[in-house]
Amino acid sequence: MATGSGAAAAAADAEEKESGSRMITLTSNEGKAFVVTEASARQSATIRSMVDDGGCVDKGFPLPNVDSKTLARVIQYCDEHGNKEAHTVDERAALAKFDKDFIAELDADKAFLYDVTMAANYLHIQGLFALTTQCIADTIKGKTPEEIRTAFGIEYDLTAQDEEEIKEEDTHA
Amino acid sequence: MACASAGKRDMIMNQPGHGGDVPVAKRRRCVEPAGAAAAGIPEDIVEEILLRLPVKSILRFRSVCKSWRAMVADPRFVRLQLDHSTTAARHRPPSMLILADCYPGHGVAADFALGMTWSSSPVATADEDDVVDWDAVDDGDDDDNLDDAVDDGDDADDNLDDAVDGNADDNWDINDGAIGLGGALHYNGLVLLSSMENSSMLAKNAELRSNTFRANCNRPAQKLQAQLTDETEEKQSKNRVSRNFRT
């Protein structure tokens, strides 16, 4: 490393290593702090863009829309996907298995599943959002409109004319 | 977190084939305060859920409430749904049928299919003088998808890219021995047809462009077709040799 460029490269390496091992603090709306690796936090596009913009890394990120229970679960997903490699078939299979178990567990508690979905949306964690919305879709796809209204707490507000029009659309389809 | 609300849409919408041109500002125009809001689920998340449903379910759910009906009836939703199902389809392992002409000595694509089907070797079994550089199939990556064979240039036809260029996670490696020989003439993935005498159609994208070539995806919501030069249907069907394999 006698040359100038060599030293610069070494410095850049060191810097990269440092940023790779940086820890980031996420704070739930209850004020509970969660310390995660930067790789994990970068699963969230929201946080990623703020980190890249040189934002408040040291101060941490308050997340006023996410409670501790939900954040803990979201971080569980981010840790798995952010800190683990997905280069080989085995690694990808391991992640897929994690996703499967992760969503199966969430599926058992629908209200929590919705919370995690909204947190994933808010934090822009694409993989998690796709996972949870697909799970919800799979759950509701065979249901009747009435069952949907019950599940989502939706009030029936269609008029007889609306119903008539839908029937008409069906016959033309 | 001021930027939180803007980005998610951008991120999802900018996925290839996912309608990245939809302006963020227009996203909530069919929202009504009733409905899903009662359960605390924002309308835009409901939309994302609906987008992941089969068409049958989507149509049935027009009867849920006014806001869902309006959402589904919105042409923008229809377009997103098509884009979404197209994108989603690419993330499932396709079965694949490759069809090519059977002029003696020129059934390269058919041989290609045979090679893929019966051997985990990346080397093609074709021995014609127009045999192409099959090494393109095996570049040593762990994501040796078929798209390596046909998508090795940025001048590739967009439709073809959409049809074959999944991401590395698609994992329908042709070299990992996972491909079995299918029996029936069944496909739900990519179909390649070539009737040119010199059918080295999988060689290079440049050649793909110059040869007669058809890519036809027969998934329900993904009937895209790319025909690069004029070719009659009769000639293609008359001359085709088919092999079927699926992962």
Is position B176 within any domain? no
Residues whose CB falls within 8 Å of the CB of residue B20, separated by 6 or more in sequence, listed in order: B13, B14
A55: closest chain B residue by CA: B1
Answer whether residue B64 shows pLDDT above 70: yes
Q: pLDDT at position A22, please?
A: 85
Is residue B49 situated within a structural domain?
yes
Whether residues A166 and B173 touch (CB distance < 8 A) is answered with no
Helix, strand, coil proportions of chain B in percent (round to 5)?
40, 10, 45
Local confidence band at B184 (pLDDT 50, 70, 90 cut-offs) = very low
Domain boundary among B31, B63, B90: B90
Among A162-171, B29-38, B231-240, the range scoring the smallest mean pLDDT is: B29-38
Domain count, chain B: 2
pLDDT at A77: 96
pLDDT at A118: 94
Provide mean pLDDT across the span B158-177.
37
Of A65, A145, A157, the CB nearest to B66: A157
> How much is the mean pLDDT over chain A?
86
Candidate from A64, A89, A124 with C-beta closest to B171: A89
Supply the range of the domain harboring residue B72.
Answer: 43-90
> CA-to-CA distance for B189 and B90, rounded, in angstroms?
9
Each residue of A75-128: pLDDT tens digit? 999 999 998 888 899 999 999 999 999 999 999 998 899 999 999 999 999 999
Vertex A36: Cα angle to A33 and A42 (nearest 5): 120
Domain-embedded: residue B178: no
CB-nearest to A157 from B34, B41, B48 is B34
Chain A touched by B20 (CB under 8 Å): no
Mean pLDDT in residue range B205-230: 37
Which of B38, B42, B52 is nearest residue A153 as measured by Cβ atoms? B38
Structure pTM?
A: 0.53
Is the minimum CB–CB distance between A117 and chain B shorter than 8 Å? yes
Set of chain B residues whose Cβ sits within 8 Å of the Cβ of A148:
61, 64
By C-alpha distance, which of B103, B140, B139, B137 is closest to B123? B137
Q: Both ends of chain A: CA-CA distance in Å? A: 72
Residue B26 inside a domain? The answer is: no
Q: B54 vs A141: CB contact, 8 Å cut-off?
A: yes
Q: Which two tokens stand for residue A19?
A: 């940023």
Return the half-sphere exposure (C-beta side, CA atoms, 13 A cut-off) of residue A37: 16
Spell out the domains of chain A, with CATH numbers in brackets: 6-141 (3.30.710.10)
Residue B117, Cβ neighbours under 10 Å: how many?
19
In A, minimum Cα distance to B173 occurs at A89
Q: Is B2 on the interface with A (CB under 8 A)?
A: no
Q: Which of B70, B90, B110 is the last residue of a domain?
A: B90
List the structure tokens of A139.
Answer: 């759950």
Instruction: Kindly state whether A87 is in contact with chain B, defined as any CB-CB distance less than 8 angstroms.
Output: yes
Looking at the predicted complex, does its ipTM rise above 0.90?
A: no
Residue B111, in any domain of the structure: no
Q: Is B198 among the domain residues?
A: no
Under an 8 A CB cutoff, do A140 and B53 touch?
yes
**Distance, in angstroms, between A33 CA and closest chain B CA?**
16
Please check whether residue B224 lies inside any domain of the structure: yes
Q: Do B4 and A122 touch (CB under 8 A)?
A: yes
Residues in chain B: 247
